[in-house]
Each structure stands twice: as C-alpha cells, then as structure tokens.
Chains A and B, each alone.
Chain A
C-alpha cells in the first residue's frame, strides 16, 4: 500500500516537474535526465564531470590515483630530511617571466626550464602544476587565456626536454593573482610569469 502511494506521488511529482520544465527554454530542458526535472544545472551534475575531465591535454585529474597520497607523503618526508631535495624543489619552482602580451619562452627562461627538466627526470616521483599569470594592463578574460598560453608554453617546452606530460598539469590565473601590486612597468614585468608548484 505504502509502495503504491509512493509510486503515485513520484509519478505526480514527475509530471509536475515535466510540466514546469515545459515552460522554459527547450534546449535547456531537453538536457535534463528523466525525472530530474529540475534544471539544466542538474543535468550537468549527472555524468559530465568525470567524462569531460578525463580527456587528453594538460589538464584533468592526473593526480587522483589511489597511491597518490602515499607518494605525496614520501615526498614530504624527503623534503624534511634531504637538503639536496629541498634545493631541487627550489629550482623546480623557480619562476620564469614573459614579455607583454606574449607567451613566447624568453631566452633567459630557457636555462631555468632546462634545469627543471633535468631535476624532474632525476626525481621521477615529483609532479608539478604550471601556473600562468599576467599583468593587470590587459583585461580579465583575455588575460585568463593568455595565462593559459604562458603555462602551456612552459609545459610544452618541458615535454620537448623529455618530461612526461602525465606528470604536469597547467592552470591559468590570468591577472587575478598579481605578485607585485602597483601600476609600474617593474610591477608588470614581475607579474607576467609562470609559477611552478610541486604537487605534495
């Protein structure tokens, strides 16, 4: 009896939700899963996140493996006990800088990246995130794209030097996280940069 009542309620609610869905934009509602009936956003929650994150490219959840926690714990222990490793991490995380509105790897950045590549090959369990940043002269959305290009420039440079893409991830912060505040060229030049963080 209870089950039958529940079924009636569920069917009624579904019909109501479908009727409500019919009042709004077609394409959006067409994307809903049957019975979710609530919104477009609900459809995005069901099933897309994992599918879309797993593709090729410099992003995705590469660091989400089961043994990742153990790897990170080993690295943290080593950082605490091994001065040579600490120095290597300092070198791996050294920033590189870019010219205005450019994502070209400058000549002065190339030896910095070569050193990183050597160290990443030596410490094979170190993974890194390359962060692209911009100065505040440009506008936010274009800067977010430019930051992506800057991070990708270093990422591809390191791949060419033999670092596995699986060990690297990129993210752009555009002009959202300036290193140096202010509107001088000195500040701008410090903010046009890639940062490299070790994924501990």
Chain B
C-alpha cells in the first residue's frame, strides 16, 4: 500500500461520514450514459464543471476553485471526455445548488453538454467538507455522488484523483488508469536507473541506485514485483524489486546476457539469456534457474510478453531474417508471425485479453507505434512522431498505451490510447531521458 493511499485511508475512514451515494441512481443502469472505450468508434462525453456552490450559509472557500482546476487537469488525460468551458453556456451559470433539482438543464442541452459536475463546499472547523456529483443532462439524474470530509489543501489532489477515478468508472466501467504505476528507466549521470510514477506524474519514486544501465522494467501481474535488466561493466544481471519490502535482488546467468525479463500471469519470469550461443527466451523456475527455451530459433528471440491467461506470448524474433513480431501459442507450441510490413518490428506487448499487440515499427523518419488486431490481422498506426516512438505498453485495462518518444528532443514518456488519441507527456521528475515504460496495476488498496 502506498504512503499516499495509507494517508488517504487513515484520514478518510473517520472523516468520510457521508461517503455513501448521495441520492444517486444506479450508477450503471442500462440506460445511463456510458461509453465503450474499447469499441471501434469511440464516442466522447461532453462534460462541464459547474461553479462550486456553498452547502450552507458560509461562502465557498478559494480551495474549491483549485479543486476544479485539478479535476479539469485530470480530465485532459481522459480522451473520452470533452471538457466544455462554462463560459459557453447561454445565460451564465445555470445552477443554484449541487443537486439535479437546482439546475436548469435547458441551456446545457442546447450546448450539447452530456454530463455536469457539481461541487458543494462547507467549512468544518478550519477544513472543508465536499460533496461532488456527476449529473446526466438527458435524464437529469446523478450517476455519481460522493462526499469527503475534512479536506485540507494537502489532500486536494488525492480527492480530485479519487473523484476522477470514480467518474471514469461510472462512464466506462474501467478505472485502472488511476492508481496504476508506470515504471521507466531514466538517465542519471553515466547510467540509467529505474523509477516509478503514477500516469499523472505523482509520487515519483527512484527504485534503483545500482549504477550501470538499469533498463526494461516489467511488472508482475499483481503489481508487487518489478523485474529489470541491469547492464554492468562485465555482465548483465536480472534485477527484481519487491515493492512490498522495497528490496532488490540481482542474479547473474551463464553467458552474461540478461535481456528484457517479463512475468507470466502466475509469477514466473521469462527472460532472454545467451546460455548456448544465441539470445533465446527461457522460462525461469522458482529458484530462477532457466528451464528449456521458449520457441527457440537459434537467432535472436527477445522482448516477450504474456496474455492474461498466460497462453499467448508475443515476442521479437530474427528467425525470418529481420526482427519481426511473433506469437507463441503455449498449449500447441505453434509460432505465428504477426508482422510482414517493414523490416524492423520490435517491442511488442500483448494485451491482457490476448487479442491485440502494440509494437514499434521502423519507418522513414523513425520508429512508430502500431496496433495489430490478432483476430483480423488489421494494423493501425497509433503514433506519428516526429522523432522516434518506441517501447509501447498497455495500461492494466488495455485502453491507454504508454511509449517513449524523442519528439521533443531527449526521450520522454507519452500516453496515447488504443485508438491513437493525441499523445500526452507524463511527468517523469525533470531532466533526464526517460525510456522503457512498463505499466502495472497499483497494489490493491
């Protein structure tokens, strides 16, 4: 459990006195506003944040405006929301309170607003109590209502994140984005170290201080372990960070080569080793001893990732001459080639449902991110540079795609979606090229 979550729970459990739904209808009833963010034609919800209102006789605290800005900033990361400015509403603020009966919906429907957010504030002994709602304009009812007690400025960001998480869940049925963690490799001096951040750039933590080049982090499916390659002066090591204990162990292998470790859903590690003359993928046993190779080719096999049922493994192989993407069906042992276009396709990650693969393809001008539908064989280009876009990975829900790009100079981490929405940069803690994003779930709260 992260420090921030502990702090939130510690304060929130006694404080959230009215943490129940505030007169909210069934959040995801069949006729409520919802979006299939995984569907082919993703719609957008026009959302408007109404001015904050007092819940009692006291005027609204300036903190309320800050909260609105934080929520709006979060919504910028969620491309299925289109934030409508309040200034575009004819006649000004159409609300007198925070509940549906206090809102004049006519000018809102005229402005094609689908959803409004209301916030009500009340002082409570030097801190603030907050009621936040999301209300549909079509049938004029709340689909989300939440109350937080005793908020001070230090908790404002956490509460804004929490509200946005609930809002995303109410609209899409998914909310893995919030609470998830992006691990990445960042240049520090002569080497690279592993860091972890939230996709919103909060709670940045330096995981390794090992020296050398620490790269290719990969999360276990439960988000507890992070495996990575450490390229030292005379050998590579397999590094494993246990997030629960904050301990790191390193293991060396015959051949000195350890490339891109990854986890199967049951916690086994697969990694490229050069035990017998060429870099091949091996599953490691419980004691981290290599078992027989996975889909051996005698050439280069690297960058494995597994579907959520563990049955499909995407990987790069040079077995066809140039590097291309392949899928191993682990039950049958059959290997299927995925990419035929281009001459350099690398960095695949298979979605948890095993239906999609994101990867990078070298194009004139640099690498670009592509999505391949394994069922239809269709490909879609998700990124367009400039510079080079590499190392894509899905978020735990399989909706967002993080990747590393040199579009603005030194490599940084960006987030787009499986639909190829405009990429947004992820704050990675200031200067230093950031590469190798790996997106994992948060530890369960």
A→B interface (CB under 8 Å):
24-28, 30-31, 38-45, 47-49, 51-61, 101, 129, 137-142, 144-146, 148-149, 152, 169-174, 176
Q: A28 CA to B231 CA in the complex, in Å?
A: 25
Per-residue CB contact flags for chain B residues 223-263 toward chain A (1 = under 8 Å, else 0) read: 01100010111111010111011011111111111011000
Q: A92 CA to B241 CA in the complex, in Å?
A: 39
Is the beta-carbon distance between B300 and A48 smaller than 8 angstroms?
no
Interface centre among A43, A47, A101, A148 (most CB of B within 10 A): A148
Interface centre among A25, A57, A142, A174 (most CB of B within 10 A): A142
Q: How far is the CB of A129 from chain B (nearest CB, A)?
A: 6
The answer to whether A57 and B277 touch (CB under 8 A), given A27-B286, A30-B286, A41-B242, is: yes
Set of chain A residues within 8 Å of B436, measured between Cβ atoms: 140
Q: How far is the CB of B253 from chain A (nearest CB, A)?
A: 5
Of the A-B pairs whose beta carbons lie under 8 Å apart in the complex, a sample of 26, sorted by A's number, is: A31-B287, A39-B244, A40-B225, A41-B225, A41-B249, A43-B287, A43-B288, A44-B249, A44-B251, A51-B289, A53-B252, A57-B256, A57-B274, A57-B275, A57-B277, A59-B256, A59-B274, A138-B323, A138-B344, A139-B391, A140-B390, A141-B272, A141-B303, A145-B302, A148-B255, A174-B231
Is the beta-carbon distance between A39 and B242 smaller than 8 angstroms?
yes
Is the beta-carbon distance between B220 and A25 smaller than 8 angstroms?
yes
Is the beta-carbon distance between B278 and A170 smaller than 8 angstroms?
no
Is the beta-carbon distance between B257 and A47 smaller than 8 angstroms?
no
Is the beta-carbon distance between A141 and B346 smaller than 8 angstroms?
yes
The answer to whether A52 and B254 touch (CB under 8 A), given A28-B220, A39-B244, A59-B274, is: yes
Is the beta-carbon distance between A55 and B257 smaller than 8 angstroms?
no
B→A interface (CB under 8 Å):
192, 213, 215-216, 220-222, 224-225, 229, 231-236, 238, 240-242, 244-245, 247-257, 259-260, 266-268, 272, 274-279, 285-290, 300, 302-303, 316, 322-323, 344, 346-347, 360, 362, 367, 390-391, 435-436
The answer to whether A55 and B347 touch (CB under 8 A), given A39-B247, A48-B288, A144-B229, is: no
**Interface residue from B236, B252, B302 paired with A142 (Cβ < 8 Å):** B302
Is the beta-carbon distance between B286 and A43 smaller than 8 angstroms?
yes
Is the beta-carbon distance between A42 and B247 smaller than 8 angstroms?
yes
Q: How far is the CB of B299 from chain A (nearest CB, A)?
A: 8
**Interface residue from A53, A141, A148, A171 paired with B254 (Cβ < 8 Å):** A53
Q: How far is the CB of B292 from chain A (nearest CB, A)?
A: 14
Q: How far is the CB of B357 from chain A (nearest CB, A)?
A: 15
Q: How far is the CB of A96 from chain B (nearest CB, A)?
A: 19
The chain B residue with its CB closest to the CB of A32 is B286
Is the beta-carbon distance between A54 and B240 smaller than 8 angstroms?
no
Q: How far is the CB of A151 from chain B (nearest CB, A)?
A: 9
Interface centre among A28, A45, A152 (most CB of B within 10 A): A28
Q: How far is the CB of B170 from chain A (nearest CB, A)?
A: 30
Is the beta-carbon distance between B360 and A54 smaller than 8 angstroms?
no
The answer to whether A169 and B346 touch (CB under 8 A), given A148-B274, A176-B213, is: no
**Interface residue from B225, B245, B322, B367 paired with A28 (Cβ < 8 Å):** B225
Set of chain B residues within 8 Å of A30, measured between Cβ atoms: 286
Is the beta-carbon distance between A59 and B242 smaller than 8 angstroms?
no
Is the beta-carbon distance between B347 and A139 smaller than 8 angstroms?
yes
Set of chain B residues within 8 Å of A53, measured between Cβ atoms: 252-254
Q: A138 CA to B259 CA in the complex, in Å?
A: 15
Set of chain B residues within 8 Å of A145, measured between Cβ atoms: 257, 259, 272, 279, 300, 302
Is the beta-carbon distance between B245 and A39 smaller than 8 angstroms?
yes
The answer to whether A38 and B274 touch (CB under 8 A), given A27-B286, A31-B286, A170-B256, is: no
Q: How far is the CB of B268 from chain A (nearest CB, A)?
A: 6
**20 more CB-based (< 8 A) A-B contacts, given A41-B225, A54-B254, A58-B274:** A25-B221, A28-B224, A39-B247, A41-B248, A52-B251, A52-B253, A52-B289, A55-B275, A57-B277, A60-B255, A61-B252, A101-B344, A139-B347, A140-B215, A141-B302, A142-B323, A145-B257, A148-B255, A148-B257, A176-B192
Set of chain A residues within 8 Å of B221, measured between Cβ atoms: 25
Q: A45 CA to B192 CA in the complex, in Å?
A: 23
Is the beta-carbon distance between A141 and B260 smaller than 8 angstroms?
yes
Set of chain B residues within 8 Å of A141, measured between Cβ atoms: 216, 259-260, 272, 302-303, 316, 346-347
Set of chain B residues within 8 Å of A152, measured between Cβ atoms: 274, 277-278
Is the beta-carbon distance between A139 and B256 smaller than 8 angstroms?
no
Q: A31 CA to B269 CA in the complex, in Å?
A: 12
**Interface residue from A28, A55, A142, A173 paired with B316 (Cβ < 8 Å):** A142
Interface centre among A45, A129, A169 (most CB of B within 10 A): A45
Is the beta-carbon distance between B255 and A44 smaller than 8 angstroms?
no
Is the beta-carbon distance between B267 and A55 smaller than 8 angstroms?
no
Is the beta-carbon distance between A41 and B241 smaller than 8 angstroms?
yes
Is the beta-carbon distance between A45 and B257 smaller than 8 angstroms?
no
Is the beta-carbon distance between B274 and A176 smaller than 8 angstroms?
no
Shortest beta-carbon contacts, A-B, top 3:
A59-B256, A31-B286, A55-B254
Is the beta-carbon distance between B257 and A139 smaller than 8 angstroms?
no
The chain B residue with its CB closest to the CB of A43 is B287
Set of chain B residues within 8 Å of A172, measured between Cβ atoms: 231, 236, 257
Q: A52 CA to B250 CA in the complex, in Å?
A: 12
Q: A27 CA to B251 CA in the complex, in Å?
A: 18
Set of chain A residues within 8 Å of B277, measured between Cβ atoms: 57, 152
Is the beta-carbon distance between A149 and B234 smaller than 8 angstroms?
no
